[in-house]
Structure formats: structure tokens, C-alpha cells
Structure 1
Amino acid sequence: MLGALSLLLSGFPRALTWTGALLALLWGVVESRREAAKTPIEIELDGATVKVDDGIVTDFRVLWRGPLSFARWRDAERRAHRLAWWPDTLDAASRRELRLALPAQTPARRRRSVAP
């Protein structure tokens, strides 16, 4: 809706803004229905074994950027998959549970990465 509103408030000619606003609204409806139709992904962390939707995955990693969480893994066919959790989709208790359930991360390099 904000895309349509920003087009209506822009300085473009009226015929172009109304067409663009209608297309932006239509695109928003299509995308929201597509996202609502997706099935939830189930991740099971059991020690060293990680399962996503009952399939064992390899190279499972979770990266943290402040309150944001990003998961990356490869399935049995070696295809890469990614997930991102925003603070409104993964609350503080779930983030803590995810951190505690993850296997230990690899330590930092021993050598200095900068000159002395």
C-alpha cells in the first residue's frame, strides 16, 4: 500500500501514477497470498544432526546480526536454502532456544588478521 501511496504523491503524470498505484496494489495482494500459502518449515536440532522438514541436512549454519537471524543449509541434493527471521517472527525466547540448541560454532582463527 505504501508503494501505491508514494506513486500517488509523486510528481509523475496522473495517468501514469494511477496505473502504477493499481499495479503496486495488485502486486502486493499477489505476494501476500503467495506468502500466506507457504507451509511452515520445521527445523529439528538434535545434537549434531539437523533435520529440516524430516530430511537430514548438511552444513547448517545460523548467523546473527543483532536481533535478526539467518539460517543456511544444504539439502540431500546439495541445493542451498536460506531462512531469515525478523524480531516479529522469532521472539526473544525462541531466539534464545535456537542459540542454545545449536552446536558449538567454529572458533576464530589463531593468527592475527591484521598487521601488528
Structure 2
Amino acid sequence: MSSASASCRRASAACRAEWRPSRWFQRALALLAVLAATSILASEAPRPLAWPAALAALAHGARLCLRERARPAHSFVIRGAEVLVDGAPVAGFELRWRGPLAFAAWRDGEGRRRRAAWWPDTLPPALRRELRLAAPPPPAARGRASMAP
């Protein structure tokens, strides 16, 4: 029993996670751009309008892919309630999970809202488990009753 209580009192080690743009997400954006252009061409839209719209959909998809690829990598350090992003403390850090995807949101030093999403190709299972264990607890539910009286 003494070893269990000692381990509970001991502060947990910091979780270090690197974020980088996901290649899977970039491929999904490219595929959606191709499918959008194909669906425009397959519709009954007049051809003089369909071709420019399809080219615009392809160009917009290519712009989104390039913008995602150009996003800078981030370094996360989580020590209990303290979270550092690229070495700077952040406020309002939230980590949400949707299956194997992890979504982080925080406010930087200037008060701007920032977001990052880890896809399975950027977050191996061992680091996923470590991040899940080290993340600060989610905010508490509102004070109102959730059921009718």
C-alpha cells in the first residue's frame, strides 16, 4: 500500500508530443477536390459553366492542400494542468478525442484561438495513450440539472 500511495503523490512525467501536418489529411483534401470537380462535370450544368466551376474546385482543393502542407510543426509539453506549445505557456488547452483522432485547441499568448488535429499517421498508438493519460481533465459540466424535475 505504501508504494501505491507514493506513486500517487509523485508528479507524473511530462508528456512530449510533436504535431506535424498529416499526409492522410492532405490526400483526403486532394481526393475531395477531384471528386468535387467530377461531380460538377457529371451534373446537368451547362458545359460553359461546368468547366470553369470544376477548374475552380480543383484550384481551391490544391490551395487547401498546399496551405495544410505549409503549416508549421508544433511541440507540445503537457505537465498536469500546465501546457506548453512551442515552449510558451498557453491558456484554455482542451484535448478532445474522436476515435483515433485527437483534436487540440488553445489560446496563444496573444489570445488567438489555435487548433491542431493528430491523425493516426502522425500519432503512434503508444504516444496516443501517453497523451490521453497526460491531458488535463475536460471542463466540468454546467451547474444546471441535466434532467427535468
TM interval, short-chain normalised: 0.7 to 0.9
Q: Is structure 2 residue 97 aligned with structure 1 residue 64?
A: yes
For 1:7-86, list aligned pairs within 5 A.
7-86=40-119
- 1:114 aligns with 147
Q: Answer with 74-83 or 13-22: which moved more.
A: 74-83
Larger relative contact order (CA 8 Å, sep ≥ 6): 2
Aligned residues: 116
* Partners of 2:95 and 2:138 within 8 A in 1: no
Normalising to structure 2: TM-score of the pair?
0.64
- 1:100 aligns with 133
For 2:113 and 2:63, how far apart are their aligned partners in 1? 26
- 1:90 aligns with 123
Normalising to structure 1: TM-score of the pair?
0.80
Q: Write the letter of the residue equivalent to 2:66.
A: R
Larger relative helix fraction:
2
Deviations 1:34-75 (A, max 9, x none): 211111121111233211111111121112234432212112
Unaligned runs of 5+ residues in structure 1 are none
What is the CA distance between 1:110 and its match in structure 2? 8.2
